Amino acid sequence: MKSFYDHPSDPDFFTPGAEAQAIADQLRQIASPDETRAVMARWSQAPAFNLLGVPAEYPSYQPHLQDYQHISLTERYRLYEKVAFISPILMFSAPGPGMAAFAVAGLGTEQQQNAFFNRFQQTLSWSCFAMTEPAQGSDAGAMETTASPVRGGYRLCGRKMFIGNGMIADTGVIFARTAPGPLGINAFIFNPQSAEISRYALALNGLKGTNLAHMQFDDLFVPQADMLGRHLKPTERFAKSAIATFDALRPCVGALALGVARRAMHEWQRDRQLTLPQSAWLSQMERRWLAVYRLGLQVCQQTEDKRAPENHPGMVKTHCVILAEELICGLIHRAPAGDMPLLNRLWQAFRDVKAFEYTEGTRQIHRLNQGYSHPPAVSSCL
Ligand SMILES: Cc1cc2nc3c(=O)[nH]c(=O)nc-3n(C[C@H](O)[C@H](O)[C@H](O)COP(=O)(O)OP(=O)(O)OC[C@H]3O[C@@H](n4cnc5c(N)ncnc54)[C@H](O)[C@@H]3O)c2cc1C
């Protein structure tokens, strides 16, 4: 591993190793999404990931486990980068409450939180967060999925796209429109295995092995008790769920991109005698990598301290992805033409990083958001 990254005050709570690599390699080969559960269940770290994002009030029933339940956002950022060094699909395929945890913790009543989080205390469980739609994409304002009030609850109709773990999840949060206009969007806890949901797995180039689903909802009944944020004003609901989720997790998605890029650098220079121009280029890229990595850490720290981040979290993700793309392209152009094993690994990294451009919003949208936000962001590393 490269010394430029190591830091003496950086306690190692996840040590990437051969076992994680073997699990990631198996995930890349799976033929059907159901295999994700079986492969992940064989990983000794899976129970620890199962608790990532579960609030402290719901401790594990197996307290001897090394768990990630109590880690801060900065630690989560570092964890994502380290996991992605092995393979980002470990993070996408891991059990745990994932993105849905933010919505349930932010919007849920005590009863809803108990019902949602208890399952992660007991057993490995997968969750999903269903926001994006095939026609409207992630433009939440144009959301078409409807939740129509009926006796005792709501009936959900519509389609969701690119839903991580949508094929295998045991629970999840879905966003649907109860009324026209921006305040008409609400979040619901739902059972992704319900008979009224039809789904298929999407074929992927980037992040191959991850399961992303198209889900169609035909009159799915959701009891009123599973609507999140009923005790909050409509103006507070969306801000407390979707926006809070994305602000916290966008830098972490950036960290995944940086982890993939660091691995690519590692592979590229392993067992090689670098020429002087190659060394100079690599040193420059390492310095830029470190600057962007620290920018993400800083934003996570500010969010954790409940200070307004100096940089828009979406722009942090954007900086990470742009740098990772440039770095991996540079490595591909500088790789020996006949070294197919190395080139294959670099091309895989290239495809994976392209997927991060889309995960949690594209760069154009983040630039627009930053442009319209006040005060303007103060720094750029690129
Ligand atoms: C690996 C992966 C995992 C995902 N997991 C989930 C998940 O679990 N749950 C979920 O709900 N979604 C998930 N998504 C979906 C993801 O959030 C969306 O793909 C992403 O937000 C982009 O939205 P879109 O696909 O609609 O693209 P679009 O918004 O349609 O963008 C397409 C292109 O048009 C550009 N563009 C769009 N609007 C504008 C504009 N106004 N001005 C200028 N340019 C514009 C964009 O920059 C982009 O280049 C996942 C995606 C990936 C790749």
**Per-residue model confidence as pLDDT tens digits over 85-101:** 999 999 999 999 999 99
In which band, very low, low, confident or very high, does the pLDDT at 109 lie, cut at 50, 70 and 90?
A: very high
Atom of ligand 1 nearest to the CA of 130: 11
CA 361 to centroid of ligand 1, rounded, Å: 5
Polymer length in residues for the chain: 382
Structure tokens at 253: 């998605």
In the Cβ-directed half-sphere of 304, how many Cα atoms lie within 13 Å? Answer: 15
pLDDT of 3 > 70? The answer is no
pLDDT of 11 > 60? The answer is no
d(CA 93, CA 373): 34
Residue 361's pLDDT is what? 87
Higher per-residue pLDDT: 62 or 320: 320
Asked if 117 contacts 127 with a C-beta cutoff of 8 angstroms, the reply is: no
- Is any ligand 1 atom within 6 A of the Cβ of residue 103? no
Residue 54's pLDDT is what? 93
Distance of CA 240 to the CA centre of its chain: 18
CA 269 to centroid of ligand 1, rounded, Å: 34
> What value does the mean pLDDT of the chain take?
90
Residue 8's pLDDT is what? 41
What is the pTM for the complete model shown?
Answer: 0.93
Residue whose Cα lies nearest atom 19 of ligand 1: it is 358
d(CA 91, CA 207): 11
Beta strands in the chain (DSSP E): 127-130, 146-150, 153-164, 171-177, 185-190, 197-201, 212-223
In which band, very low, low, confident or very high, does the pLDDT at 172 lie, cut at 50, 70 and 90?
A: very high
Residue 12's pLDDT is what? 58
pLDDT of 105 > 50? The answer is yes
pLDDT of 63 > 90? The answer is no
Q: What are phi and psi of 172, to 5 degrees?
A: -175, 175
CA 137 to centroid of ligand 1, rounded, Å: 6
CA 332 to centroid of ligand 1, rounded, Å: 26
DSSP 325-349: HHHHHHHHHHS-TT-HHHHHHHHHH
Atom of ligand 1 nearest to the CA of 206: 1
Q: Kindly give, in sequence order, each residue whose CB lies less than 8 Å from that of residue 14, ignoring residues fewer than 6 positions away.
A: 45, 79, 82, 83
DSSP 253-270: HHHHHHHHHHHHHHHHHT
Looking at mean pLDDT, say which of 14-23, 44-53, 132-141 comes out highest: 44-53
In which band, very low, low, confident or very high, does the pLDDT at 9 lie, cut at 50, 70 and 90?
A: very low
pLDDT of 322 > 90? The answer is yes
In which band, very low, low, confident or very high, does the pLDDT at 300 lie, cut at 50, 70 and 90?
A: very high
